[in-house]
Amino acid sequence: MAYFKQDVIQYEGPNSTNPYSFKYYNPNEKFDGKTMEEILRFGVAYWHTFTADLSDPFGVGTAVRDWDSLSEMDKAKARVDAIFEFMEKLNIPYFCFHDVDIAPEGKTLKETNENLDEIVALIKKKMEETGKKLLWNTSNNFTHERFVHGAATSSNADVFAYAAAKVKKNLDIAKELGAENFVFWGGREGYESLLNTDMKLELDNLARFFKLAKNYADEIGYTGQFLIEPKPKEPTSHQYDTDVATAHAFLQKYDLDDVFKFNIEANHATLAGHTFQHELHYARINDMLGSVDANQGHPLLGWDTDEFPTDIYETTLAMYEILKNGGLGSGGLNFDAKPRRTSFAQDDLILTHIAGMDAFALGLRVAHKMIEDNFFENIKKEKYESFETGIGQKILNEEVTLSDLAEYALENDQITNKSDHLETIKAQFNQYLLNINIEDK
């Protein structure tokens, strides 16, 4: 049975009016010897696209899906068929999941693991048949009420052990399915209030937990990249992995910075009061950029709305960071995004992904052109040119003392600064976005 009536979605170029076509994503078109498909490495998020029902804190689910009326295990099986058909039709090479997305939880942990085994076997078969790959999997250690106080940072040692058992199982699955990465999002790893929180113990336990996971991965020979996904708040009022800089400091303190990279989500960046580009950039300059959860927040809503990315200003700057990083390595662009509650039809799953894929494909085209022209590089070179010669060069070479600088300043105290013409830079960026030349089909 087919779940989606469309044929494989084709590239029709920027002037196409067919909603079921790509306007900018042309998978085989090459940029510096690599195809768009190889650079963008798109992924489908199992949870938003195949498991969630589009409910929100004020209303029930609205999604209409062919598998709605099936029993839990049959639903899980139908979803496996549906996601593989979906990936074929959209030409998406990767998918990502939490354990609870693919199989229902049983009454006991043993039963949960048995449900997982059954579905993982189906997924493995489909992967072999289609060549589709697992970008990452993760353990959902936040939804069930047992995680009320957190998982690795819970005040209850039994919960720490239970969470460990789940991560062990998910690492086995990662190995079995060849997951290219393994994600840790600290769901409830944070606190509501410091009045009753032993923060030092909780952070030490979080590091202990990560070390146990790494040791087990080594033990079973799982070599996928470990990723931490920062988020500042929601559901807790303070999440320990607040943003890249905070989580990086944590990893450095516990000597785990060689074990992890970051999975950066656009909406989490904005929740942290940063731009998406800031988080990508900070990770890149520290050699910690691993993968991306491609979505966007709503500028008027202060929560994690997980919209499909359509803002080409943001996708261009994201692709700029990714290209400057030399690509995403084993990472990819996972659409951790959901249709709006009002876009409830099954077809909307296809349409939303086309919108997101095109936004990143256009971003890639523009960013590639800007890099060819050394647009930002030239601006920055001119801005910082005082460090290329004279006293600036000596500062960079660490050849001066504080007294040397004081002596220099006494002779050079009439400072001249240059305007950096920021508004012109923004206008020129607009020109790039509007004048990008794309061959029509």
3-state class of 370 per DSSP? helix
- Rule CB under 6 A: say whether 138 interacts with ligand XLS: yes
Can you tell me which of 304, 307, 321, 358 binds ligand XLS, judged by CB under 6 A?
304
Least distance from ligand XLS to the Cβ atom of residue 303, Å = 10
Binds 183: which of ligand XLS, Ca ion, none (CB < 5-8 Å by kind): ligand XLS
Which residue, 126 or 233, is less far from ligand XLS as judged by CB? 233
In 3D space, the residue among 279, 22, 240 whose CA is nearest the CA of residue 152 turns out to be 240
3-state class of 299 per DSSP? coil
Write a three-state SS string for 253-281.
Answer: HCCCCCCEEEEEEHHHHHHCCCCHHHHHH
Q: How far is CA 33 from CA 13, 65, 218, 320, in A?
A: 21, 40, 34, 17
In 3D space, the residue among 336, 341, 251 whose CA is nearest the CA of residue 55 turns out to be 341
Distance between CA 379 and CA 395 in Å, rounded? 21
DSSP label at 249?
H
Q: Of residues 318-357, which lie at the interface with ligand XLS (CB under 6 A)?
A: 336
How far does Cα 196 stand from its chain's mean position? 32
Which residue, 267 or 277, is less far from ligand XLS as judged by CB? 267
Q: Confirm if 350 and 90 have CB atoms less than 8 A apart.
A: yes
Least distance from ligand XLS to the Cβ atom of residue 98, Å = 6
Can you tell me which of 101, 202, 279, 293 binds ligand XLS, judged by CB under 6 A?
293
Could you give the angle at which helices 312-324 and 347-372 cross, rounded to 10 degrees? 60
Binds 138: which of ligand XLS, Ca ion, none (CB < 5-8 Å by kind): ligand XLS
Which residue, 26 or 170, is less far from ligand XLS as judged by CB? 170
- Rule CB under 6 A: say whether 183 interacts with ligand XLS: yes
Distance between CA 223 and CA 369 in Å, rounded? 35
- Rule CB under 6 A: say whether 189 interacts with ligand XLS: no
**Catalytic residue from among 48, 98, 268, 278:** 98
Can you tell me which of 182, 185, 250, 260 binds ligand XLS, judged by CB under 6 A?
185
Which residue, 265 or 348, is less far from ligand XLS as judged by CB? 265
Q: What does the angle CA 62 – CA 141 – CA 279 come to, to the nearest 5 degrees?
A: 85
Is the dihedral angle over the CA atoms 104, 110, 111, 113 positive or is it negative?
Answer: positive
How many residues interact with ligand XLS (rule CB under 6 A)? 10
Which residue, 4 or 260, is less far from ligand XLS as judged by CB? 260
Least distance from ligand XLS to the Cβ atom of residue 138, Å = 5
- Rule CB under 6 A: say whether 265 interacts with ligand XLS: yes
Residue nearest to ligand XLS (CB): 185
Q: Of residues 215-244, which lie at the interface with ligand XLS (CB under 6 A)?
A: 229, 231
Place of tokens 């199982």: 169
Annotation marks residue 101 as catalytic? yes
Which residue, 24 or 226, is less far from ligand XLS as judged by CB? 226
Distance between CA 261 and CA 183 in Å, rounded? 10
**Catalytic residue from among 101, 243, 348, 358:** 101
Interface positions with Ca ion (CB under 5 A): 265, 267, 293, 304, 306, 336
Q: Could you give phi then psi for residue 56, rounded to 5 degrees?
A: -130, 175
The one-letter amino acid code at 362 reads: L
Binds 370: which of Ca ion, ligand XLS, none (CB < 5-8 Å by kind): none
Residues within the interface to ligand XLS (CB under 6 A): 98, 138, 183, 185, 229, 231, 265, 293, 304, 336
Residues with a catalytic annotation lie at 98, 101
